[in-house]
Structure 1
Amino acid sequence: MKTPVIIIGAGINGLVAAADLAARGTPVRVLERGPTAGGAVRTEALTLPGFRHDVAAMNLSMFAGSQFMARHGDEMAKHGMEFVPIDRPFAQAMEPGDHLGVTTDVDETLSTFNSQADKDTWRALMEDFPERAGVVGGLLGTPMRRWPLAKFLWKTWRSLGTAKSLEVAQFLMSSPRDWLDANFEDPRLRTALSTWGMHLDFAPDIAGGAIFPYLEAMGGQAMGMVIGKGGADVATRALVSMIEAHGGSVECNSEITQILHMNGKATGVISNGEKIEASTILAGLAPKHLVRLTGDTSDARFDKGMKSFRHAPGTMMIHLALDKQVPWLAEALKKFAYVHIGRTIDTASRTYAQAVAGQLPDTPLLVVGQPTVFDPSRAPDGKHTLWVQVRVVPAEIKGDAKGEISETNWQDAKAPMAERALDLIEEQAPGFRDLILGQHVVSPLDLEAENPNLVGGDQICGSHHLTQNFLFRPVRGFADGQTPIEGLHMIGAACWPGAGTGAASGFFAAQTIK
């Protein structure tokens, strides 16, 4: 009997790799240290009975559009995969009562713009989007291996020509502010789009971050977004069901304490004290944990890169059960899946600098998810859940930028910091606090304690800055997921193409296994 492929971690990448392999007849065993599968794609009753909260990921648009779903979507549907379409993906709340929103209705989107020139630019960008998205999406869907990358670059050059290819290359290296300043007049619009960079560790002035505001803005306009019916864990449950249907297994509470290798080849793992032989291992681990389990390899540069891999600042999560919808001053905000709260692009820049310096930000940027607006099955009749990301905050607190919070440990600081975040929502929606029925606050260190891959509460498992992206993610020479140990592959958000629910690194790795 063929030895199963061992997959360490039942996050989205591990499950996608296992499902694809199992469907092709390869035996797989997924070993997960936690009590449930899913990693960041889980849904739990965190506040009160009947209220289902996505613990981390809420937006499943990348998963819906992934190469895995293109191949296995029909089978996933048979295992219960169901998406909820959203026509109003995101809005920005700035001065109380003022907002700018992106919907799938172009005229509705443009009605929130203040500049005619910006409206014209937006229409021009939308006209160009299919071609530009094809190039950018093609890059994100290309493994960082020599021949696939060379083929992609050659195809792109033949299609676009030299001038347009260089324009795309310049765009990929631009900061959000550079791209936004070059295209839009209205500071409100610049603020609204720049916020998307903060999702991936790109403050407004960090090179390489323009791609994310662009893709989210144009993609939101063209296609909206999707969430999982009943919760993001619908994807996890469907993947586990698919794996098991093909004879694979997902084994929780399986603590891996060592990855075994001899003479440069993987030989197995130690799980819960038991030796499991395997010649092929896919490890969905943060770099520091991978090298902890392997020990030093034969490649000093790889080992050093794993140990020095840089994580993004932390995130704090606030999960709320509400009696009614948030009473936004800007009534239109009640209809959006995401409401970003942040007054200016400069506020976002300052917030990021404060967090990197170890300071609790005075005005943290908030990502407020309103999933029950589109999926009422997540709460009792007439009730709502609210999903709040506080971005960005330091893992190690050195002080408070506002001078109000004296605590420097998260156990004591998370309650007052949560109040600061709730104050920002209350400012945009007076009376909001009176609607809170239940509350669950998760600090960056709480996130890491539950899932060690979220080092310091870094939900994207590593900065995506240019020195740690593309060919350099996670380490130059190993961006294809290979390691110096034959048979041991890296998968997960620390690998190219990085964070999100697209699960490309897991899918890429599965394709290399015959």
Structure 2
Amino acid sequence: MRDAVVVGSGPNGLAAAWTLASAGLDVEVLEGADTLGGGTRSAALTVPGVVHDVCSAAHPLAAAAPFFAPGGGPDGSGFDLQAHGVRLLQPEIPLAHAMAGDRFAVLHRRVDDTVVDLDDLHPGDGQRWRRVVGPLVDDARTLTDALTSRLRGVPADPAALVTLARFGLAIAGGPRVFAARFRGSAPAALLTGSAAHTAQRLEHPVAATAPAAAGMLLTVLGQAVGWPVVEGGSQGIADAVVADLRRRGATVRTGAWVRDLRDLPPARAVLLDLSPAQLDTLGGDRLPASYRRALRRYRYGPGASTLHVVTSEPIPWADPRARRAGTVHLGGPAAEVAHAEAQVADGRHADEPFVLLVQPSVVDASRAPAGLHPVWAYCHVPPGSDVDVTATILRRIERYAPGFRDTVVATHVRTAAQLARDNPVHVGGDVAVGATSLWQVLARPVPRWDPYRTPLPGVWLCSSATPPGPGVHGMCGVHAARSVLRSLGPSSGRSRGRSRK
């Protein structure tokens, strides 16, 4: 009998498996797809020799979260990406947000540089930014540790409480209240564009609190650790973790779709890097009726539709600074971003959708033959949409980069419906595995003190549908694995001669 079987090889499933294997447990990972990695997969989708990230492309949380931190995090128990050969490459500029025409708002690696740019756009706004955001950047490590925790209880460290209080004041009321602190529109655009990653409504002061929190964390991390890309593609993260798992004696299998929990190999613990809907299906009538009802009440967010492009030249952005940015938001002022996301939340395709774009070749020449440049972009769409957004996204890019269409060599679109088919954890194409509302941040997937442990004996959930939620940080898996270790007791680390780090 195995100590643990992990179903799903996304960042959280792999983090759970690695945490258990590093504690000496006998672990097996089962992945239904032919490629490991889930949301960190990369593939050749267009021109031979060009590597595209399939789902996630820029990785501020991989650069900041405790599991992936240099040295393995504060307690030394994590997976040090750099020590395992994964290079996080830093674009000179983390983020450029297209406002109108050739006017962009720019988030720099240093707060001082962001302040200068904001003051140039509207005198005084830079110093206001420094007062509101600057202290959070200084405390980015404390903030990240708190926001990637189990989100249960109050931090014991008084310094963490002060940081969280300051963070709460910065996001209270959502992007609209944040915007009221400034005279110009650029600060609000930077925050709102980052908040739009959550695919939630951004207008209401209460409903927008959770998106604003996510947006503020991303904004802070951009100035603390950057928004890096992985050299050679995001697949490198999964490949490094899997290689170390195998070194520790774990078994990792692909092409192993699980249709019923009874089909799994015997194990003391089963961890599911799956959606609540999949847990409901796999558990069936063995789950208590009340728990199944709670799983079915779990809300999913809008879908995403991705477009992978190959160009013959770097994108000719109207603002030259955007040509040095790893990530570009195409959304216009904050009100336009909020309007587009509201249309999607209402079940419609946005007239002018917010587009999130990553251009890895600004810092990573390894992903394509000389003279070619991969571009990754997506927009939000109604759940399960099978609409081809190629023309829409190309038009949005052309609006801020005249002449862009003339550089396009190849495209490959993946609709929300296709995303859901390719990776069923993304219900309806929801890559966040659940709506990022304030309630669901705290009560993912159901309101329980240990949200990872299910009512089925020996079964845990470890996906982004558990706290702290979406992102390539692995912490959902880490917290689930620690719950397993607490449950199995002191004998859980009974290594069968396996090496320990």
| Fold shared, TM-score > 0.5 on shorter chain | yes
Counterpart code for 1:216: L
Q: Does 1:56 align with 2:45?
A: no
Q: d(CA) in 2 for partners of 1:138 and 1:76?
A: 17
For residues 473-510 of structure 1, what are the alpha-carbon distances to aligned partners after superposition, in whole Å with 9 as ceiling and x for unaligned? 11111553111112111111111000000110101122
Structure-2 residue corresponding to 1:288: 277
Q: Which runs of 5+ in 1 are unaligned?
A: 261-269, 398-409
Q: Does 1:43 align with 2:26?
A: no
SS of alignment partner, residue 260 of structure 2: strand
Q: d(CA) in 1 for partners of 2:407 and 2:164?
A: 52
Structure-2 residue corresponding to 1:430: 402
Structure-1 residue corresponding to 2:131: 124
The correspondence of residues 108-187 of structure 1 with structure 2, limited to 5 A, is 108-113=113-118, 114-129=121-136, 133=140, 136-145=143-152, 149-150=153-154, 152=155, 154-156=156-158, 160=162, 168-169=167-168, 174-181=173-180, 183-187=181-185
Q: d(CA) in 1 for partners of 2:124 and 2:142?
A: 26
Query: Percent identity at matched positions?
Result: 28
Q: Select 1:195's aligned residue among 193, 217, 230.
A: 193
Structure-2 residue corresponding to 1:263: none
SS of alignment partner, residue 89 of structure 1: strand
Alpha carbons 2:60, 2:225 under 8 Å: kept: no
Q: Select 1:421's aligned residue among 387, 390, 393.
A: 393
Alpha carbons 1:20, 1:68 under 8 Å: kept: no
TM-score of the pair, normalised by structure 2: 0.89
Structure-2 residue corresponding to 1:104: 109
Alpha carbons 2:340, 2:351 under 8 Å: kept: yes
Structure-2 residue corresponding to 1:32: 31
Moved more, 62-71 or 133-142: 133-142
Structure-1 residue corresponding to 2:289: 300
The correspondence of residues 322-401 of structure 1 with structure 2, limited to 5 A, is 322-390=311-379, 392-396=380-384
TM-aligned CA deviation for residue 298 of structure 1: 5.3
Q: d(CA) in 1 for partners of 2:325 and 2:21?
A: 38
Q: d(CA) in 2 for partners of 1:156 and 1:131?
A: 16
Q: Which runs of 5+ in 2 are unaligned?
A: 486-491, 493-501
Moved more, 43-52 or 109-118: 109-118
Q: d(CA) in 1 for partners of 2:167 and 2:187?
A: 22
For residues 37-64 of structure 1, what are the alpha-carbon distances to aligned partners after superposition, in whole Å with 9 as ceiling and x for unaligned? 1001011111111110000111222123
Q: Does 1:480 align with 2:451?
A: yes
Q: d(CA) in 2 for partners of 1:448 and 1:344?
A: 31
Assess, with a 3 A threshold, how the Cα gap between structure 1 residues 234 and 352 changes in structure 2: closer, same or farther. same
Q: d(CA) in 1 for partners of 2:164 and 2:238?
A: 38
Alpha carbons 2:197, 2:215 under 8 Å: kept: no
Assess, with a 3 A threshold, how the Cα gap between structure 1 residues 342 and 476 changes in structure 2: closer, same or farther. same
Q: d(CA) in 2 for partners of 1:189 and 1:463?
A: 25
Counterpart code for 1:34: A
Alpha carbons 1:156, 1:165 under 8 Å: kept: no
For residues 159-217 of structure 1, what are the alpha-carbon distances to aligned partners after superposition, in whole Å with 9 as ceiling and x for unaligned? 64xxx876655556532222232x22212321222011110133322233222232222
- RMSD, aligned CA: 2.2
TM-aligned CA deviation for residue 82 of structure 1: 2.1
Assess, with a 3 A threshold, how the Cα gap between structure 1 residues 480 and 396 changes in structure 2: closer, same or farther. closer
Counterpart code for 1:233: Q
TM-aligned CA deviation for residue 78 of structure 1: 5.4
Structure-1 residue corresponding to 2:496: none
Structure-2 residue corresponding to 1:89: 94
Moved more, 342-351 or 292-301: 292-301
Q: d(CA) in 1 for partners of 2:355 and 2:113?
A: 24
Q: d(CA) in 2 for partners of 1:165 and 1:322?
A: 43
Assess, with a 3 A threshold, how the Cα gap between structure 1 residues 229 and 72 changes in structure 2: closer, same or farther. farther
Structure-2 residue corresponding to 1:498: 469
The correspondence of residues 199-348 of structure 1 with structure 2, limited to 5 A, is 199-205=197-203, 206-260=208-262, 270=263, 276-297=265-286, 299-348=288-337
Q: d(CA) in 1 for partners of 2:267 and 2:104?
A: 54
What is the aligned residue count?
473
Q: d(CA) in 2 for partners of 1:346 and 1:126?
A: 21
TM-aligned CA deviation for residue 139 of structure 1: 2.5
SS of alignment partner, residue 86 of structure 1: coil
Q: d(CA) in 2 for partners of 1:75 and 1:187?
A: 39
Assess, with a 3 A threshold, how the Cα gap between structure 1 residues 325 and 510 changes in structure 2: closer, same or farther. same
For residues 419-472 of structure 1, what are the alpha-carbon distances to aligned partners after superposition, in whole Å with 9 as ceiling and x for unaligned? 0221111111111111111110010001001000111111111011012112x1
Q: Does 1:464 align with 2:425?
A: no
Assess, with a 3 A threshold, how the Cα gap between structure 1 residues 202 and 479 changes in structure 2: closer, same or farther. farther
Assess, with a 3 A threshold, how the Cα gap between structure 1 residues 35 and 307 changes in structure 2: closer, same or farther. same
Alpha carbons 2:384, 2:420 under 8 Å: kept: no
TM-score of the pair, normalised by structure 1: 0.87
Assess, with a 3 A threshold, how the Cα gap between structure 1 residues 190 and 44 changes in structure 2: closer, same or farther. same
Assess, with a 3 A threshold, how the Cα gap between structure 1 residues 426 and 168 changes in structure 2: closer, same or farther. closer
Q: d(CA) in 1 for partners of 2:221 and 2:84?
A: 28
Counterpart code for 1:425: I
Q: d(CA) in 1 for partners of 2:146 and 2:224?
A: 20
TM-aligned CA deviation for residue 104 of structure 1: 1.6
Higher relative contact order (CA 8 A, sep 6+): 2
Alpha carbons 1:6, 1:29 under 8 Å: kept: yes
Counterpart code for 1:204: L
TM-aligned CA deviation for residue 358 of structure 1: 2.0
Counterpart code for 1:207: T
